[in-house]
Amino acid sequence: MRLAPASAAAASPFSPVSAAVARSGPNQRLRWPVGLLGVPFENITQAEAVARVDAMIASRRPHYVVTANVDFLVQARHDVELRRILLAADLVLCDGAPLVWASRWLGNPLPERVAGADVTPLLIEAAERNGHRLFLLGARDGVAAEAAERLRQQHPSLVIAGHYSPPFGTLLTMDFTEISRRVRAANPDLVLVSFGCPKQEKWIAKHYQQLGIPVMIGVGATLDFIAGRIKRAPAVMQRTGTECFYRLAQEPRRLIGRYAGDFIHFVPAITRQCLSLHSRRHPATPPDLISASPTPSRRELQITGDLSASGLNQQSAIYAEAMAASSDCHLDLSQVRFLDSTGAAMLVQWHRRLHEQGKKLVILNPSTAVQSTLQLLQLTGYLNLPDQAPRGARYVAAESGTGTVVPSYPGGHTLAWQGEITAANAEAVGAQTRELLTAVSPPPRNTHLINIARLQFIDSSGAELMARLRLWARSQEQELRFLGARPDVRNVLEMSGLSNVVEGARR
């Protein structure tokens, strides 16, 4: 359905959301998130980040926090699963001076760098003050134990519930049973995970819900800093954003390739974003939020004007309205003239907020400006854009209630998978798949076919499930083949080292 412009009041089913959205005063400026290469960074200080983590612990619900630097963003450009993890994180903090500089160029400056190595000591002080239980997980053999001993000396009242440095292995070969046993026995409130990016982020995203820990945060080399294995740069280098040169001098052979690659990929990408999406390129038209009469199942909204930092500064309550949403929302963006990095970050947060409640944000009729920005920031595969999606995605959006596993799929396939398979549903999908495959008659040449052309996304848990199902089929003296993987699914399989489980998945 294409909606009439807001100005055509007589023809439009929409009306202004005046009760919820009032114009802010000209001098009032709130701190909106800013999207850097598509990843929404929270516009907060170190102290505010600690307060947010404290609130997460108090809620007793599981959360994960990411301290993202330039290397994270570069890796996420070609690692679909890591990009999803960053987009879905409960809190993304800015761990890099270049990211602060880029936010200034984009017209929505982050207040300061919130590095993992800086915020972790503050979190530890807060844990001691509030009686929170701390667990140190990862790093090289012996590092977590050394870090724990130093923390006990520096913070006598700190409750260190446990520490563990598991044997080195890939994400899919790590002994989760043993790690889970130790973490559960410690019953921590906060777990610092030091496996390095992207391994620590993928491990956390895969297990944080199952473990039920209030907060898990990837801290990279921070445990090495605490243990004294690696020295931090002098304070002046930390303040001026030149700490990377100090780290490079300490570990040149390990870091030279990474730093060079980050520079080669990050600088052109962020330059393109800054040139394309600078929020002060023209006088902003304040956005308006207009609404049709809500139905019991969803709200239908339309945004007009500029969905940008400068526009939101003149109409700030739109952000509050979006973050307060609690039902499915169909959002018409046909009348949005300009979408910048801040507006894109707002859409990502809106989508995430609804997803946490089991709801959906569906974007209808995106204008050319909206499409251009979402493509530039690699967000078209994450946000629901049914009018722009291929046929399989529209099928999933329309038939999402039918489940992930579709039996008796036409065209000779035994089954089909659709939607997404992640840590949240992988075990259920596996059980249903085995049940359905067991119930059917032996296929020709004892080979089952599962069509995954309508499978939009999998994470490492989904990739591991596919490998386990193939092994299970062989134990039944049968073969199992997956056909029709989309590019995002192929990407996750390749990053997991499992590209051979799908026909034609190798590039």
What would the pLDDT profile of 458-500 be if each residue is shown by its tens digit? 999 999 999 999 999 999 888 999 998 999 999 999 999 998 8
- pLDDT of amino acid 234: 74
pTM for the predicted model, two decimal places: 0.86
pLDDT at 1 over 50: no
Q: What is the pLDDT of residue 75?
A: 96
For residue 188, whether the previous peptide bond is cis, meaning omega lies within 30 degrees of 0, is no
Give me the pLDDT at residue 378, please: 93
* Cα–Cα distance for residue pair 486/452, rounded to 1 Å: 8
pLDDT given for residue 298 in this prediction: 80
14 vs 322: CA distance, rounded Å = 17
Q: Per-residue confidence at 243, pLDDT binned at 50, 70, 90?
A: confident
Asked whether residue 179 carries a pLDDT value surpassing 60, the answer given is yes
Q: Comparing 284-293, 368-377, 415-424, which segment has the lowest mean pLDDT?
A: 284-293
CA atoms within 13 A on the CB side of 291: 17
Mean of all residue pLDDT scores within the chain: 84
Of 69-83, 141-155, 278-292, the poorest mean pLDDT is in 278-292
d(CA 100, CA 108): 10
Report pLDDT for 279.
Answer: 58
For the chain, list the domains and their CATH numbers.
Answer: 34-248 (3.40.50), 299-388 (3.30.750.24), 398-501 (3.30.750.24)
Query: Which of 215, 205, 209 is closest to 132 using CA atoms?
Result: 215
Distance from C-alpha of 10 to C-alpha of 120, rounded to nearest angstrom: 56
pLDDT at residue 410 in the model: 57
DSSP string, 194-220: ES-TTHHHHHHHHHHHHHT-SEEEE-T
What pLDDT, on a 0 to 100 scale, did the predictor assign at position 293?
A: 62
What does the pLDDT read at residue 282? 64
Q: Please check the confidence at residue 384 and state whether its pLDDT lies above 80.
A: no
Q: What is the pLDDT of residue 389?
A: 37
In total, the chain counts a number of residues equal to: 507
Say what the pLDDT of residue 246 is. Answer: 66
pLDDT at 199: 94
Q: Provide mean pLDDT across the span 401-406.
A: 67
Q: What percent of the chain has pLDDT over 90?
A: 57
85-105 pLDDT, tens per residue?
Answer: 999 999 999 998 999 999 999
Give the pLDDT of residue 161: 96
pLDDT value of residue 56? 97
Mean predicted confidence (pLDDT) in 16-38 = 60
pLDDT of residue 281: 57
Look-up of token digits 């992930």: 404
Edge-first strand order for the sheet with 63-68 is 91-94, 63-68, 215-218, 190-194, 133-138, 159-164
H helices of 357-459, in order, are 368-376, 391-398, 426-439
Q: What is the average pLDDT across 63-73?
A: 96
pLDDT in tens, 279-296: 555 667 888 888 766 676
Q: Give the alpha-carbon dihedral of 168, 173, 179, 181, to 10 degrees.
A: -150
- Which residues lie below 8 Å from residue 473, measured CB to CB, with a gap of 6+? 437, 448, 479, 480
Which pLDDT band holds residue 147 (cuts at 50, 70, 90)? very high
